[in-house]
């Protein structure tokens, strides 16, 4: 039987054969629990609202060579991935964490002890979150799906990043997800576990740069303790031909704030999802994203914010630029729990279609179970404004440059939301490369 996400899950009926392959680092009882869930509930189907726009058939039947094991990632010689490492632009004064095939490589990563950070593999003696009540990995919530459980059950042991109480970590943590190239169609399942302590501050950038036809199924779990602050940015520029699913699950405690941005450039099929439970009162949640599918790319964004505390504020701002016969989608879910007061939640999705056959889907989904709330949502799908195009061209700016400038202007609103200046510069550089490669290359021949 050929290997695919679907066949992996089918084989779980007698799951001992797969469940044991990766054990050791995470408590086996945890793995068992997740795999049992997966065996019983399976992978998402087209009846799952959160997977409505995703090409599930392709995802489930996607041929795989094998599932990456921890040994794979650890065995790779640094020289073998030197080129890939060198090609990653670093963020100013970053603390770099390198993962190879989803596995934390301490030997390739920076030491961060002096910065007030604890970083390590799950299960190492330095970090034993399982002993504390705030173990983020154990915080499996009601809204889970089969791909998250596939990651938890059969994924890498994972890396834990902890900013201790009161620590304002100034240097940004840059998690670089590399692919070893040991096998082309590898199922890579990294798990980043971020814990921001009481009144602590942390910035984390995750760069996904896998090549080949890798299937990335990434999970990032986050707990932000009272009055803590996290900035999290996902920069996905995997090779065309690869699959990228990444899910971020956040729990926010009282007075905490989250700024999370996702920039989806690469992969053939990409799905960026984030699910925030604002559990405490007076939380602030600022989510944004940019997706630029072209060719036959298919990029989905699935965003959920649940306000379970009082006086929480949240915003979702997502923009897509969709070219050729590509598809892009946004599903934005706002839940305001019964009995809460003072929620202020806003959502906006705008997309720009650059080709008559490009497709964009936008779905606001509001479930308000409280009275005292202020919620807005808006979505707009359009094309480049012909009058703006004419204005630029009448000033001597060639057609392709004019398109690039207008797309750049459209995109800037999202990039400008990155508050840290050095990270914004980093993101801006990536975005500019994308815009430049898309428009001048594509239209150059026509002029």
Partner 1 sequence: MLRIEDLRATIDGREILQGLDLEINAGEVHAIMGPNGAGKSTLSSVLTGRDGYDISGKVTFEDEDLLEMAPEERAAKGIFLAFQYPVEIPGVGNMYFLRTAVNAVRRERGEPEVDAVTFLGSVKQHMAELDMDPGMLSRSVNDGFSGGEKKRNEVLQMAMLQPKLAILDETDSGLDIDALRLVAGGIQRLRSPERSMLIITHYPRLLEYVVPDYVHVLSQGRIIRTGDASLAYELEEEGYRGTEASLSGTGGGASK
CB of 385 to partner 1, least distance (A): 8
Given the complex with partner 1, which of 184 and 401 has the nearer CB atom? 401
Toward partner 1, which CB reaches closer, 171 or 319? 319
Enter the tokens of residue 202.
Answer: 């942390």
Reported as type and span, the H/E element at residue 18 is helix 16-19
CB of 270 to partner 1, least distance (A): 24
**Residues within the interface to partner 1 (CB under 8 A):** 385-388, 390-399, 401-402, 405-406, 408-413
Identify the CA nearest to 163 among candidates 227, 238, 98. 227
Q: Shortest approach of partner 1 to residue 386 CB, angstroms?
A: 7
Nearer to partner 1, 86 or 386 (CB): 386
Question: Phi, psi at residue 153, to the nearest 5°?
Answer: -80, -40
380 CB neighbour count, 10 Å cutoff: 12
Q: Which is nearer to partner 1, 18 or 392 (CB)?
A: 392
Looking at the Cβ atoms of 368 and 389, the one nearer to partner 1 is: 389
In the complex, minimum distance from the CB of residue 405 to partner 1, in angstroms, rounded to a whole number: 6
Q: What does the DSSP assignment read for 378-446?
A: EEEEE---HHHHHHHHHTT--HHHHHHHHHHHHHHHHHTT--SHHHHHHHHHHHHHHHHHHHHHHHGGG
* C-alpha count within 13 angstroms, C-beta hemisphere, residue 20: 4
Least distance CB 278 / partner 1 (angstroms): 30
A 10 A CB-CB count for 382 gives 11
Which of residues 268 and 349 has its CB atom nearest to partner 1 in the complex? 349
Nearest distance in Å: CB 409, partner 1: 3
Nearest approach, Cβ of 402 to partner 1 (angstroms)?
8
Q: Which is nearer to partner 1, 369 or 391 (CB)?
A: 391
Smallest separation, CB 104 to partner 1 (Å):
39
Q: Which one, 165 or 413, has the nearer CB to partner 1?
A: 413
Return the number of the residue (106 or 413) whose C-beta is nearest partner 1. 413
151: which DSSP letter?
A: H
Of 90 and 383, which CB lies nearer to partner 1 in the complex structure?
383
Q: What whole-number distance in Å separates Cα of residue 113 and Cα of residue 191?
A: 21
Q: Which is nearer to partner 1, 8 or 407 (CB)?
A: 407
E strands, 116-228, in order: 117-121, 159-163, 173-178, 186-188, 191-196, 201-208, 215-224
Q: What is the largest CA-CA distance in the chain?
A: 69
3-state percent helix, strand, coil for the chain, nearest multiple of 5:
30, 35, 35
How far is residue 381's CA from residue 385's CA, in Å, rounded to a whole number? Answer: 12
CB-based burial label for 367 (10 Å; 0-12, 13-18, 19+): exposed
Site of tokens 């100013």: 92
CB of 27 to partner 1, least distance (A): 49
Distances (CA, A) of 399 to 218, 326, 421: 39, 22, 31
Minimal distance, residue 387 CB to partner 1, in Å:
5
Structure tokens at 271: 């799905």
**Minimum distance, C-beta of residue 352 to partner 1, in the bound complex (Å):** 12
CB 318 within 8 A of CB 348: yes
């Amino acid at each position: 039987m050929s290997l695919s996400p679907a066949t992996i899950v089918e084989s779980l009926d007698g799951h001992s054969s797969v469940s044991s392959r990766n054990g050791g680092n995470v408590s086996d009882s945890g793995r068992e629990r997740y795999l049992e869930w997966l065996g019983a509930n399976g992978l998402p189907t087209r009846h799952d609202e959160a997977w409505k726009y995703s090409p599930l058939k392709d995802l489930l039947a996607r041929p795989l060579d094998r599932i990456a094991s921890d040994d794979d990632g650890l065995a790779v010689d640094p020289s073998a991935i030197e080129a890939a490492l060198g090609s990653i632009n670093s963020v100013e004064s970053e603390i770099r964490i390198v993962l190879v095939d989803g596995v934390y490589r301490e030997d390739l990563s920076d030491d961060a002890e002096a910065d007030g950070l604890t970083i390590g593999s799950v299960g190492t003696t330095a970090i034993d979150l399982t002993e504390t009540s705030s173990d983020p990995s154990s915080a499996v919530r009601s809204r889970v799906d089969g791909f998250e459980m596939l990651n938890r059950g059969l994924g890498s042991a994972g890396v834990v990043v902890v900013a201790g109480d009161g620590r304002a970590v100034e240097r940004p943590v840059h998690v670089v997800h590399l692919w070893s190239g040991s096998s082309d169609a590898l199922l890579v399942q990294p798990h980043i576990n971020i814990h921001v302590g009481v009144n602590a501050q942390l910035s984390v950038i995750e760069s996904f740069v896998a090549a080949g036809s890798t299937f990335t199924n990434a999970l990032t779990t986050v707990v932000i303790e009272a009055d803590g602050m996290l900035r999290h940015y996902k920069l996905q520029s995997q090779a065309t031909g690869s699959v990228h699913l990444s899910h971020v699950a956040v729990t926010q405690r009282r007075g905490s704030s989250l700024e999370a941005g996702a920039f989806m450039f690469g992969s053939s099929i990409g799905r960026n999802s984030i699910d925030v439970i604002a559990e405490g009162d007076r939380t602030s949640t600022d989510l944004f994203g940019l997706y630029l599918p072209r060719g036959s790319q298919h990029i989905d964004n699935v965003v959920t914010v649940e306000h379970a505390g009082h006086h929480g504020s949240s915003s979702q701002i997502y923009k897509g630029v969709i070219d050729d016969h590509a598809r892009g989608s946004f599903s934005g879910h706002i839940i305001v729990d019964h009995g809460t007061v003072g929620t202020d939640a806003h959502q906006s999705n705008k997309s720009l279609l650059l080709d008559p056959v490009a497709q964009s889907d936008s779905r606001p989904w509001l479930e308000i179970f409280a009275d005292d709330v202020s919620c807005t949502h808006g979505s707009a799908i359009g094309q480049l404004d012909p009058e703006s195009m004419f204005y630029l061209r009448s000033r001597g700016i060639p057609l392709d440059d004019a398109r690039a400038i207008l797309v750049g202007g459209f995109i800037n609103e999202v990039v400008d939301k990155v508050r840290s200046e050095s990270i914004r510069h980093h993101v801006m550089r990536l975005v500019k490369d994308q815009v430049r490669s898309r428009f001048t290359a594509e239209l150059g021949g026509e002029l």
